[in-house]
Amino acid sequence: MGNLCSIALEYLGQDQIRHIDMISPIKRGTAEVLHASDGGVLLHETKSGAYMMSVTTHEIGEVLLRNLPSNGLFVCHQDFMLEDFKAKMGQADILENYQGAYLGKELLKTPNNMDFQPLSMEDLAIVHANYDMDLGEEYLAGRIADGELFGGYENGEMIGFIGIHAEGSMGMLQVFDNHQGKGFGAGLYASITNHQLNRGLVPFGQVNVNNSTSLHIAHKLGFIMGDHRVYWLS
């Protein structure tokens, strides 16, 4: 690992939960570190195409922003930089999330009545029709093609799905209406967590600040959730 990556990890490791989304791609080898110092880190996550930035001061953030394109996918880790990102991009769609990670080593308990297996392209239509966020069919197809989208099944019937986003976070959790209230949401989240643990990765995910159900599941399963917000802008 290069010196720039080492400097980046030293900075990011001072607050692991806040920065786990930046630490993970560096360790996976899917990050191009554009800047790293004791004042902040800027990287380009190559799988998702997202530019991710964390800085200690507004002044450092201003300098780093000058070198970024005015359109694309961006992740802002400090509230005090949000307006600058918005000004850089003009009108931007913003997702506000809490970020958390499972730092334990023990596998989580999963439901005995639920099977968990990768989805195929034959499942794309049902996923696209039922997911409550508009990520686009092409993106979902890519997740399936990479083996990163999974279905939960009860007695052979799909009850919902969950997956790994391009940059490495767990998400896309959806339980179909007629199967809600049975613990399958927590079961899917536990299953994808175990999948990441078995790969030697730190399971992490981001939950929309208004999604109280997913926040409850994350806490219940032992995830450490940061109280800061991570902003996705596109």
Per-residue tokens: 60 = 């450092």
Q: Is 218:205 a contact under the CB 8 Å cutoff?
A: yes
The answer, yes or no, to whether residue 2 has pLDDT greater than 80, is no
Per the listing, tokens 């769609």 go with: 93
Question: What span, in angstroms and rounded, lies between the C-alpha atoms of 193 and 207?
Answer: 15
pLDDT band of residue 1 (cuts 50, 70, 90) is: low
- C-alpha 234: how far from chain center: 15
Question: What span, in angstroms and rounded, lies between the C-alpha atoms of 212 and 134?
Answer: 20
For the segment 183-199, what is each residue's pLDDT rounded down to a tens digit?
Answer: 999 999 999 999 999 99
* Whether the model pTM is above 0.85: yes
SS3 212: helix
For the segment 99-134, what is each residue's pLDDT rounded down to a tens digit?
Answer: 999 999 999 999 999 999 999 999 999 999 999 888
Cβ atoms within 10 A of the Cβ of 112, count? 6
Question: What span, in angstroms and rounded, lies between the C-alpha atoms of 30 and 24?
Answer: 9
